[in-house]
Amino acid sequence: MSVAILLSRLFGFLRDMLIAERFGTGAMADLFYVAYRIPNMLRELFAEGALSSAFIPTLTRTLDREGRDAAERLYTGVLLLLSLILLPVIVGGMLFAPEILSLLAPGWSIDPARKALGAKMIRIMFPFLYFISLSALLMGVFNAQKRFFIPAASPVAFSLALIVAALFPDSLFPGPPILRLAVGVLAGGLSQWGIQWLLLGKNRLRVVGLLSSSNWRDPEVRGVMSRIVPAIGGLWVTQGNLLIATLFGSYLATGTIAALYYAMRLVQFPLGLIGAAVATVLLPLFSLHARDGGGPQEKLAETLAHGYRASLFLMLPASAGLVALREPLIRLLFQHGRFNETSAEQTAVALIGYAVGLWSFSGVRIIVRAFYATGDMKTPVMAALAGLFTNLAISGLLAPRMGVFALAFGISAGSLVNQAYLFIRLKHLLGRRPWEIFGNAPMVLLHSLLLLVFVRLLWLGLAHILPSGSGFLLVALLGLIGSGALFYGILTAMTGVTESRLLMEKLAGRLQRKKR
């Protein structure tokens, strides 16, 4: 599955590199990312976040216990109710696009033509929400059948649509160039759904009795929808953190919102490759372990502990690496065309603020799934609210003085508070104290800090003698990343970190199988 996510992330980076090269972090880029904020946020709320968390456990249990016919009725009922909810939301978003733009960026004083362009982009992109929600339903069907590769790789189709939009000749497009990206978002959502529908093949669940009231009145269907609502509550608060950054960013220098986006894209690479992969694989396991009550709760606790420690073992050094290599990474990936030195500096500052909370972003994703699997939807919402108010306070106090860093750091601090709240509640849910889940965290943190110093010193020494050119920079980065990985692996192995030993044993086992 990590291979599929890696493929998805690579195409995502290619997409963002092209957009950065064409539009930089100027006023038009800010306008696009503000217009994209609401459709993308609603995607998290209704589709890939809340829907997946509520739908996958129920569909997994239904397939396991009641068979395919019951699963098809469940799928049909959820599809019908989801459509009844989403279509009015989409129509409302298209009707009130100018008001949405004004609410998102109150600090902007923009001319009527630019405001009309922003509203037009919102209208074009809002139907994307429906197609990506259909895609999330199909992802649930794949995952319930223990098939993870195709849904994890399906965002490649979305990225390809935006790549085509970015490369499309200006002379052949009847409108401002930035508008092509909005069309690309809509085409990308349609493509991501379509490719999954085609590849699901004979495992596709049929839509049966779409207009039959027995489907949407089914207790399992209502159960899914009832769990979506509190899950949306938790994710709404999480997405609220990004809205806070957009709101305060509209009062700061031009390019702030785009810089926050590009910095988050760098953070999302390890977050998606490691954190999302671990969380996605664990959700069906959590559901199976929690379903029978009593004894299986111990299995749930063990699964959570192993998954969280594996994430921590990989995400803390990833945070260190992003901070240590922020300048060369941004220079290689984004600093081309209209993405200039000022854009790179803004993005690097934002990246430091985000990297502080990278390990926590991953940890929260994993822990909340344990609560969802046991039917506790309230605790993640309360934890996310605590994080939201933390972010709001930090952003409001520090943004006027510290600019883009304060907005990124506020999101990280909010995630840390969110995770702390969840850990406190874990004692009630599973009977486990936080330190029983953390495992070797202090040692992993120490090694990650040493890694940061080691790789940073290597880069500072190399930067002065490195010839210009992307090829040389790419080779240098690969060497630095490899050296850092070797340094971290040796440190953790020498000090007996359990996850390091397990990783070495797994690699050794694979090598032995290949020799045979």
Give the per-residue pLDDT at 425: 84
Give the per-residue pLDDT at 199: 87
Cα→Cα distances 28→19, 121, 174, 395, 513, Å: 11, 11, 17, 24, 53
Spatial distance between the Cα atoms of 98 and 409, rounded to a whole number of angstroms? 30
Asked, for residue 394, whether it belongs to a domain, the answer is no
DSSP conformation class of 254: T
Is residue 251 helix, strand or coil? coil
Residue 330 CA neighbour count, 13 Å, CB half: 29
341 C-beta neighbours (distance < 10 Å), count: 9
193 lies in which domain range? 1-230
**pLDDT tens, position by position, 189-216:** 999 999 998 888 777 777 666 556 566 6
Residue 219 CA neighbour count, 13 Å, CB half: 1
Cα→Cα distances 383→368, 390, 408, Å: 10, 11, 19
> Which token pair is 98?
């100018």
DSSP conformation class of 202: G
Helix (H) or strand (E) holding 3: helix 2-23
Contacts of 15 (CB under 8 A, 6+ apart): 159, 162, 163, 166
Asked, for residue 324, whether it belongs to a domain, the answer is no
Amino acid occupying residue 115: K
Asked, for residue 151, whether it belongs to a domain, the answer is yes
Listed in sequence order, the DSSP H helices in 24-154 are: 27-42, 50-65, 68-95, 97-104, 112-125, 128-144, 149-153
Give the per-residue pLDDT at 401: 92
- Let me know the angle formed at the C-alpha of 257 by 97 and 169, rounded to the nearest 5 degrees: 75
> Which token pair is 501?
């030993």
> Which token pair is 17?
């590199």
Handedness of CA 177, 183, 189, 191 (dihedral sign): negative
Give the chain's domain count. 1
Q: Among 135, 141, 133, 152, which residue's Cα sits nearest to residue 59? A: 141
Spatial distance between the Cα atoms of 155 and 163, rounded to a whole number of angstroms? 12
Q: Which residue has the tokens 């074009």?
A: 124
Cβ atoms of 119 and 97 closer than 8 Å? yes
- Rg of the chain (C-alpha set): 23
Contacts of 220 (CB under 8 A, 6+ apart): 58, 62, 70, 74, 77
Contacts of 496 (CB under 8 A, 6+ apart): none
Asked, for residue 13, whether it belongs to a domain, the answer is yes
Q: Among 390, 113, 85, which residue's Cα sits nearest to residue 221? A: 85
- Torsion angle in degrees (nearest 10) through CA of 311, 314, 318, 319: 50
Asked, for residue 61, whether it belongs to a domain, the answer is yes
- Let me know the angle formed at the C-alpha of 399 by 397 and 403, rounded to the nearest 5 degrees: 155
Give the per-residue pLDDT at 486: 94
Give the per-residue pLDDT at 208: 63
Spatial distance between the Cα atoms of 71 and 209, rounded to a whole number of angstroms? 13
199 C-beta neighbours (distance < 10 Å), count: 17
Asked, for residue 104, whether it belongs to a domain, the answer is yes
Spatial distance between the Cα atoms of 30 and 118, rounded to a whole number of angstroms? 10
- Torsion angle in degrees (nearest 10) through CA of 295, 297, 298, 303: 140
**pLDDT tens, position by position, 418-428:** 999 988 887 77
Residues of the chain with pLDDT below 70 are: 1-2, 44-50, 53, 109-110, 207-217, 229-238, 275-298, 429-439, 504-516
Give the per-residue pLDDT at 408: 96
DSSP conformation class of 440: S
> Which token pair is 426?
């874990």
Is residue 110 helix, strand or coil? coil
Asked, for residue 237, whether it belongs to a domain, the answer is no
326 C-beta neighbours (distance < 10 Å), count: 22
Asked, for residue 348, whether it belongs to a domain, the answer is no
Contacts of 361 (CB under 8 A, 6+ apart): 267, 271, 275, 415
> Which token pair is 269?
């690479």
167 C-beta neighbours (distance < 10 Å), count: 11
